[in-house]
Structure 1
């Protein structure tokens, strides 16, 4: 007679994947969307330059642009509004869209002040480049992530690299040095990668045949990398109009003090 206590039980009639079929599917997240309160429903924005700031130094720099006008926001439904200020603040978790009118040319700045999940990056990239904003050129400013870099990185080093779409690279090869966005920067080393929102945006530019460039800087924080970014913008003719509206001569000191304050709570 079999011992029911010590006998090996028979295998389950279901595989683990089959058991999951009985669980209700996870509800899908609402799609992100753009909000332009003062524009007409079918009105398209056609800026000569679209600048998307993702890195901490670029966000801090553009916060000091005095002549920018808030025209809209990108809403990611899973990001809560609780804790945000009535007026735009660097401490908010938001994605604000600003405009600058320079010599009858429209420049649009997008400040991405929250972390976009990898699985949502493509949707956000499509919104910023396909929906209502049709730019001639795009500049993306992000930080270099150490896990994506093929080589050793020291926090005492400060540098930046670039990646370009084929149409932007072709423009530079044709000798239009005066209109290069990232003139003088080395290309991102082979074997290193870029992921997340920056990669989705640059890939979307490539698919849409938009002249686009991505600048990744290191380290992620510090007054030195802020100074490097300002110098980079000053050296490139298409970007100089942006810094003409930059206020305050001690941005680097304020930024360094802010990072020290944040370090006290980490």
Structure 2
């Protein structure tokens, strides 16, 4: 055997390469550093401060037990309840990651805020919460705990949100106005047929999903054994869906309650809907 052959044989032995190996198609040996181990070299992100409630001085030490807690998140419900002029601002929920810069001093639909209002009716109080910013799934449970079951213990809860098309099993047309409901077991037990708290509304279709703050709030009601209803409307903008939500609140939920609504709310919402339609159409041109 020549010196060259001896050298090739020795190198092949040391590296584990022989004439049967294919260095192009063979699976490479495992890396000494796994991809998930890279996270060990980066510090964890700082935890966010907890959300908290701020009440006016007169209500600072009070615990509230309203007969009804209305929580609005959908565009038509926010708009309608914002223009309910007979309500009184009593507090707000602060989410530290939501900047307050740019908010006006007076309540406005353009503010990123979560204001809490009281609507007094004789010896019964109705509380209204307008959630005007997006709450991430990671923060939903913390916000739900603050609104239900600690300082605020309502007898009944109504949550108003919009159907999210990615969570809905079926086809949703932008020209079709629909609404569905979900109830806690206690609400469903005490409401059947004409005795239902929210009348004339079908249950949310099986196989469809609700997530985020709406799901956390309804779960909180179930956990605390509170009568709770979640109403989901579609679409989020337009005069027909505003009429549907108004019919639900004025002709059903707030029936028999003394309140006033600003006269210009319909004009303002019509302008908002047109601006939204124009923005959406621009995206597809």
Mark yes or no: TM-score above 0.5.
yes
Secondary structure of 2:101's match?
coil
- 1:112-138, Cα deviation, whole Å (9 max, x unpaired): 000101111111111101221010000
State yes or no: 1:22 paired with 2:38. Answer: no
Deviation at 1:25, TM superposition (A): 1.0
Aligned partner of 1:182 in structure 2 is 198
Q: Which residue of 2 aligns with 1:160?
A: 179
Aligned pairs (5 A) from 1:48-197: 48-173=67-192, 177=195, 180-197=196-213
- Measure the CA separation in 2 of the matches of 1:253 and 1:41: 37
Matched position secondary structure for 2:181: strand
Counterpart check, 1:227 vs 2:243 = yes
- What is the match of residue 247 of structure 1? 262
Give the Cα–Cα distance (whole angstroms) in 2 for the partners of residues 233 and 206 of structure 1.
Answer: 23
8 Å CA contact 2:86, 2:259 repeated in 1: no
Instruction: Report the secondary structure of 2:198's partner residue.
Output: coil
Q: Distance in 1 between matches of 2:119 and 2:231?
A: 21
Q: CA deviation at 1:14?
A: 2.3
Is 1:256 the equivalent of 2:270?
A: yes
Aligned mate of 2:56, from 30, 37, 40: 37
TM-score (normalised: structure 1): 0.90
CA RMSD of aligned residues (A): 2.3
> Secondary structure of the equivalent of 2:57?
coil
Gaps of 5+ in 1: none
Deviates more, 1:10-19 or 1:64-73: 10-19
Question: How far apart in 2 are the matches of 1:165 and 1:12?
Answer: 52
Partner of 1:217: 233
The size of the alignment, in residue pairs, is: 259
What is the alpha-carbon distance in structure 2 between the residues aligned to residue 190 and residue 182 of structure 1? 19
Preserved CA contact (<8 Å) 1:233 1:243: no
Q: Distance in 2 between matches of 1:10 and 1:214?
A: 55
**Partner SS state of residue 130, structure 1:** coil
**Cα distance in 1, alignment partners of residues 127 and 163 from structure 2:** 23
Cα separation, partners in 2 of 1:11 and 1:72, compared to 1, 3 Å = same
Aligned residues of 2:93 and 2:114 also touching (Cα < 8 A): yes
Contact 1:65 1:243 survives alignment (8 Å): no
